[in-house]
Chain A
Amino acid sequence: MNFIAISAIYKFEMARFFRTMMQSIISPVISTSLYFVVFGAAIGSRIDNVEGVSYGSFIVPGLIMLSVMTQATSNASFGIYFPKFIGTIYELLSAPVSFLEITIGYVGAAATKAMFIGMIILGTAYMFVDIQIAHPAAMLAFLVLTCFSFSLLGFIIGIWAGNFEQLQLIPLLIITPLVFLGGSFYSITMLPPVWQSITMFNPVVYLISGFRWSFFGTADVGIGLSLFAIALFTAICLGAIWWIFRTGWRIRQ
């Protein structure tokens, strides 16, 4: 293992994050605040408690997940797409690093950024609503796993993308709808039975449900199932990356 190379990639990527610090931090803070004003204060006051939790608090885990998933995906996809776009990828390909080390460096940095933003949103949420975290260790574990797995997904998208449009396409067309329809802002028990069944095919449901359980101790689906779902998702992404690594797909001619 070329650990120095992993750390070089990681630091270089984190430097990009800190260069755009204002944008990286201010925008999630502002958008989260807006959600709290609109859903928490304005609409939320007319909604009953959900599963014994006030609506404003109830949406906190979903909001964090929404940002973390989209940030992890877009950061990781951009991180590997940008060298492809500007041509500096030659350096990665001619350096004595394996594809695994490249993946760890980029995915690690993207996951860290997403984790950072998740924490900032949690901090912002504290200013608006009352939150108790029932299972802090589980909460952290879910957050880390989600950051990591969606960064893997983003990395795959970044390798696949041939232009900026494709780079935006999957986060926009797939991840955002899945997260919105995955119970970020509602409990799926609120849905009609048919939609409840359909929702079960949405993988994000399991992540949000598990994450919410770590806050409030209640969940739409069993915590074991949630863990299994995120493990499965991570495994699929790792498998895809292993395959890309084997074939050099879209990377090495």
Chain B
Amino acid sequence: MSSIVSVQNLRKSYQSGFEALKGVNLEIEEGEILALLGPNGAGKTTLISTICGITVPTSGAISVGGHDTQTGFRAARGLIGLVPQEINLEPFETVMNTVQFSRGLFGKPRDDAKIDAILKQLSLDDKKDSRIMMLSGGMKRRVLIAKALSHEPRVLFLDEPTAGVDVELRKDMWDIVAGLKAAGVTIILTTHYIEEAEAIADRIGVISKGEILLVQDKAELMAQMGKKQLQIEVSAPVDKLPKALSGYQLTAEGTTLTYTYDTKNERTGITTLLNDLQKTGLQLVDIQTQQSSLEDIFVGLVKEDT
């Protein structure tokens, strides 16, 4: 897989002196769904705005599909669709005209069949002649997505697509994202809902205070989550694991033995481990289990950063 969006050492300081991005490096692979997690004010929106051309980077370079966003802005922006966080829509226009306007801005001639298909996909086909002001909040959000998709972008940015959205619409939103991924669109979404990242992302990036703290495959993160650790305190320090215990995923550190196991397996191996432990003559003092969740990882990372 190759990068479709490449961000190199991106810095952004606003006129107020506030440094929103402090040297961000990010490679986004073609066809993936990347979720950017971060608390409010972390720089998620600034990062997206800068990639899309709404704000000008202070330093660093961004390329989209191999086109620099400054020197090749037409080619770069032509590949991008953006769904903003706020519902920004011209209230007096109809859905159809608003979406066609977006398509036109991207230099594509009016195409009613194409727009009809997009509206249908978003369950907006019966609203196409309605004025925006007549729509519900959820419908308006769909219109924003339709606008972003109107010129058939290869990369779609969704800035907090499900903030303040009810459960049903959120599920719909996830289905839409899955459908777009199937069509080959690369998707970057920001969220502060961890379960959202879990539900739809391929990779997860954590951003805090203008820095990317981690970008990792979701499966790897989930693997860490799916595993539990059993910590066994013994009375005397263990320098070397006894032979009888060599078949286990076991590490020793002082008086603590840590056993990692997968709760999804049929057998956790705890019973046999405890039996074997008893045979070695080690004296048990205490036992506890731990599970790290994405939430823990996230909170830990963000806290560490403060």
Contacts and interface: CB of A to CB of B under 8 A. Distances in A.
B74 A86 contact: no
Contacts of B86: 87
Contacts, number: 83
Contact of A5 (B14, B93, B104): B104
A74 to B, nearest CB: 18
Q: Bin the interface of chain B by size.
A: 35 or more
A86 B105 contact: no
Interface stretch (B1-9, B26-34, B53-61): B53-61
Given A87-B86, A253-B55, A253-B56, A92 B15 contact: no
A25 B18 CA distance: 48
Interface in B108-165: 108-109, 147
Contacts of A12: 90, 93, 97, 101, 104
B89 to A, nearest CB: 7
B62 interface: no
Contacts of B75: 96
Contacts of B90: 12, 83, 86, 88
Contacts of A11: 101, 104
A74 B102 CA distance: 25
A15 B105 CA distance: 16
B105 A5 contact: yes
B104 A252 contact: no
Given A4-B107, A5-B104, A15-B97, A94 B77 contact: yes
Contacts of B103: 8
B174 interface: no
Contact of B56 (A9, A96, A97, A252): A252
Q: Bin the interface of chain A by size.
A: 20 to 34
B105 A8 contact: yes
A78 B69 CA distance: 30
A91 B76 CA distance: 15
A51 B82 CA distance: 61
B78 interface: yes
Contacts of B100: 8
A164 interface: no
A7 B103 CA distance: 11
A90 B82 contact: yes
Instruction: Determine chain A's interface SS by DSSP, over half rule.
Output: helix
Interface string A86-113: 1110111111110000000000000000
| Most A C-beta atoms less than 10 A away, residue of B82, B97, B105, B108 | B105
Nearest to A7: B104
A8 B55 contact: no
Contacts of B106: 5, 95-96
B19 to A, nearest CB: 13
Given A5-B107, A8-B104, A93 B91 contact: no
A136 interface: no
Contact of A96 (B73, B89, B97, B147): B73
B193 interface: no
Contacts of B257: none
Contact of A94 (B14, B80, B92, B97): B80
B74 A96 contact: yes
Interface string B243-284: 000000000000000000000000000000000000000000
B206 interface: no
Nearest to A94: B52
A93 B54 contact: yes
A2 B55 CA distance: 21
Contacts of B105: 5, 8-9, 91-92, 95-97
Closest 5 CB pairs of A and B: A8-B104, A87-B88, A95-B105, A96-B74, A94-B52
10 contacts: A8-B103, A9-B101, A12-B97, A86-B90, A87-B84, A88-B89, A91-B102, A91-B105, A92-B105, A96-B75
Interface of B: 14-15, 52-56, 73-78, 80, 82, 84, 86, 88-93, 97, 100-109, 147
Given A12-B93, A90-B84, A94-B54, 13 more contacts: A7-B104, A8-B104, A12-B90, A12-B101, A88-B89, A91-B105, A93-B54, A94-B52, A94-B53, A96-B76, A252-B54, A252-B55, A253-B55
